[in-house]
Chains A and B, each alone.
Chain A
Amino acid sequence: MSNGYSHSEHFPGPIHNPPLIGGEARKGHGEHGHHPKLQHHFDDMDQQLEASTLGMWVFLVTEIMFFGGLFMAYLMYRWANPTAFQEASAHLNKAWGGVNTVVLIVSSLTMAMAVRSAQTSAKPKTQVLWLVATMFFGTVFLGVKVVEYTDKFTHHLVPGPHFQWTGQYPAGAEIFYSLYFCMTGLHAVHMIIGLGMMTVIAIMAWRGKFDADYYTPVEVSGLYWHFVDIVWIFLFPLLYLIGAHYGAGH
């Protein structure tokens, strides 16, 4: 009885943490004088936001290492096959890669503005507009990716039994395209997950869940979206731009 933690076992009663939905919860919490979205294990809304942000960053660190493994493979194989990687990269369409980089940067801007619109208690319609704009540009990115992948399939550049390479380094080029599909594929999967998250967030925003007092879900999914953008910032030059001078004497 001395540990001080067991009192709840001895006084079973209504759980002191009801689902925090709708006006009922607000009324129930009114006596405490705090925000209905504040979970009981946090002192205040600031601490809650900070804990969520930190938690998302811990997840993003594992994501950095997840993609990091592929970047490691890229570094090692490119170091071992420098010319082959240049030759293989020269076959990627730099313009598509550049367009997609710009598209993702625009989507990051609209995402930042979506978070800001929630922070400033903008109308639900405004919040939804920024989120839908973000999803639009995310979808454009994936659309361009579909065009590129289709092109690679029709030109037999997909590693496997049907891979065909007319250049000097078929084996090295196949490794490059394996990495190309793994890295851009994993990135695309993250984009698709991001679109799913944004759908949920947009619905919540539409229902007026977010304002200056509570915008944690928008903030946290924004972090994820920006992270996916950062991955592409590195993928674009490393995959698309290393072959520009192939055959120029080195």
Chain B
Amino acid sequence: MSGHIASPKAYYLVFLALIVGTGLTYAAALVDFGFFNNVVMLTIAVAKAALVILIFMGVRWSSRLTWVVAASGFVWLLILFGITMSDYFSRGWMVGSLR
């Protein structure tokens, strides 16, 4: 069969990048960036997820149709977050921590 076979080197490099990413996430959490702690950790998480999807799950070598289907999941997720939060942002419900 003609499915793409990645080299072990590619897998080990991705593994290394994921471990480094985890270390960076941990280290960044120890530094106080205020709100930007969230930006930093989510950026690293998205990069790690992209590596897993593209290399470990092999989407990089999959058909265009697989690309579209895989991406659609995240598009719907953003629609869910976007529309729900736009409602909460614009109404001012539940602001302030529950005690």
- Report which A residues bind B (CB closer than 8 A): 45-46, 49-50, 53-54, 57-58, 60-61, 64-65, 68-69, 71-72, 75-76, 79-84, 94, 98, 101-102, 105-106, 108-109, 111-113, 116, 119-120, 168-172, 175, 212-215, 219, 222-223, 226-227, 229-230, 233-234, 236-238, 241-242, 244-245, 248, 250
Q: How far is the CA of A71 from the CA of B97 in the complex (A)?
A: 19
Identify 8 new A-B residue pairs, CB closer than 8 A, beyond the known A61-B70, A230-B52: A58-B69, A75-B81, A76-B85, A81-B96, A168-B99, A171-B98, A237-B25, A242-B38
**29 A-B residue pairings within 8 Å (CB atoms):** A54-B69, A57-B69, A60-B70, A61-B69, A61-B73, A64-B74, A68-B80, A69-B80, A72-B84, A80-B88, A80-B97, A81-B97, A82-B97, A83-B97, A102-B22, A105-B15, A108-B56, A119-B3, A119-B5, A120-B5, A169-B98, A170-B99, A219-B3, A226-B52, A226-B53, A227-B57, A230-B49, A236-B25, A242-B29
Q: Work out how many contacts link A and B, with CB atoms closer than 8 A.
A: 163
Contact of A237 among B6, B14, B45, B88 (CB under 8 A): B45
Alpha-carbon distance A45/B2, docked complex (angstroms): 9
Contact partner of A111 (CB less than 8 A), chosen from B56, B69, B96, is: B56
Q: Which of B17-47 contact A (CB under 8 A)?
A: 18-19, 22, 25-26, 29-30, 32, 34, 37-38, 41-42, 44-45
Kindly report which residue of chain A lies nearest to residue B35, judged by CB atoms. Answer: A250
- Chain B neighbourhood of A69, CB < 8 A: 80
Measured between beta carbons, the chain A residues less than 8 angstroms from B5 are 116, 119-120
Q: Which residue in chain B gives the minimum CB-CB distance to A250?
A: B34
A residues within 8 A CB of B22? 98, 101-102, 105, 236
Identify whether the interface residues of B are mostly helix, strand, loop, or mixed: helix
Q: Report how many residues on chain B are interfacial, defined by Cβ distance under 8 Å.
A: 56
Q: Is the CB of B76 within 8 A of A65?
A: yes
How far apart are the CA atoms of A90 and B84 in the complex, in Å? 27
Q: How far is the CB of B57 from chain A (nearest CB, A)?
A: 5
